[in-house]
Amino acid sequence: MGRVYDALKRAAETSGVQKTRGDEDRPSRDAEGRIHAARGATPVPGNGRHNIAAGTVVTPDAILQSSSILRAPEAAHVSASTEHTEHVVGSALPGGQASRIAGATLGAAGSTRTPEFVSIDISAARVEPHLVAITHPQSAYTERYRSLRTRVLHASERRKMQAFVITSAGVMEGKTLTSLNLAWMLAQTDGARALLIDGDLRQPCAADYLGIDAPIGLAEVLTGEASLHEAIIKLEPSGLHLLPGGARREGVAELLSGPRWSTVLAEVRRMFDYIVIDAPPLSLFTDATLLISRADAALIVTRSGQTRYAALERALEPIPREKVLGVILNASNEPMDEQGYYYNQRYGRRAETPAEDQSADALDAEDAAQQETEAGRS
């Protein structure tokens, strides 16, 4: 039995979520084999606008085996706020492997210099509070995203992967916050150039979460109203680049299935080492499936106590098995184990107790890999 199924089942029992028609919502064994996930983190104190948390759950064993539209005027610097947030810069992998992965494993992408773009200072006081990589950079919640970053870097080392789509089965499961937090951490990897694309053109919100005004974005690039250079923004102090969604559009499926999206993706592949694409939920439109078809891998975000087993199974059906890198479980209600508590105490950090008496839950990679192997044999 897969770890996501176990976690969702426990969450449903404790939160009162009822399954319909007996075991109808339980994923089939084939679906479980496609789910490589475990317990995530819990919400951090904030303004209550989005009770979404940090999840980190991809194991190395989860991996299954153009014409330019870029114009380059002089770069400018725009300060959205004078208040800078602290950030952590360091190697994501043991032994300083991150800088090697960032360039050497990505072929042509690592050989093209990233042009200069308009830059904006991001303030921790203005962003969505659950962007913990910005608002709580030293917290246990951010550690979950560092862990997720490490798994993604390991995955890209084992198999050439550069563009990742992050989506969910349904709405309000935390995909955009997961995309932003992960992309922010990837940008802090030594030598890496990371780009976040807001691919939810029906309801773009990445710029809103960051507290910035970005009227030009992917929608305008796809319709020929703007160039990539006019749309991409560099976010300081992390160095993450953002291609916002732009103005809301109709006919999104036609835009994403057309040749211009292929040209845009090919262009940004040459400029960046890692590309994170925030996509709409799988259950609502075909947009996410179209984005995944041209990306290298997909991460599926679920929410404890909300995502139903049958909905997750249906969401995974149109996605090729080899494209599913893993599943992230948000808002786990399970307490941090003794080992995690000892780790925090040893390094001078108290085990935090977030709202609703919940706390972050650490995931051991070897244990996760072992349980996934056992699940595949059952």
Give pLDDT, residue 13. 59
Contact 126, 134 (CB under 8 A): no
Q: What fold is seen in the domain 3-377?
A: Rossmann fold (3.40.50)
Give pLDDT, residue 227. 96
- Antiparallel, parallel or unpaired: β 233-236 and 240-243: antiparallel
Three-state SS for 317-362 is: CCCCHHHEEEEEEECCCCCCCHHHHHHHHHCCCCCCCCHHHCCCCC
Give pLDDT, residue 306. 86
CA 367 to chain centre: 23
pLDDT (tens digit, 0 to 9) for every residue of the chain, 378 residues total? 455 556 565 655 555 444 444 444 444 434 444 434 333 443 444 443 333 334 434 333 333 223 335 444 444 444 343 333 333 333 333 333 333 333 333 333 444 566 789 999 999 999 999 999 999 999 999 999 999 999 999 998 888 899 999 999 989 999 999 999 999 999 999 989 999 999 999 999 999 999 999 999 999 999 999 999 999 999 999 999 999 999 998 899 999 999 999 999 999 999 999 999 999 999 889 999 999 999 999 999 999 888 888 888 988 899 998 999 999 988 765 544 433 333 333 333 333 333 332 223 323 333 343 344 444 444
What is the DSSP secondary structure assignment for residue 224, as one 8-state letter? T
Does the predicted model carry a pTM greater than 0.75?
no
φ, ψ for residue 236 (rounded to 5)? -100, 150
Give pLDDT, residue 30. 42
Give pLDDT, residue 308. 87
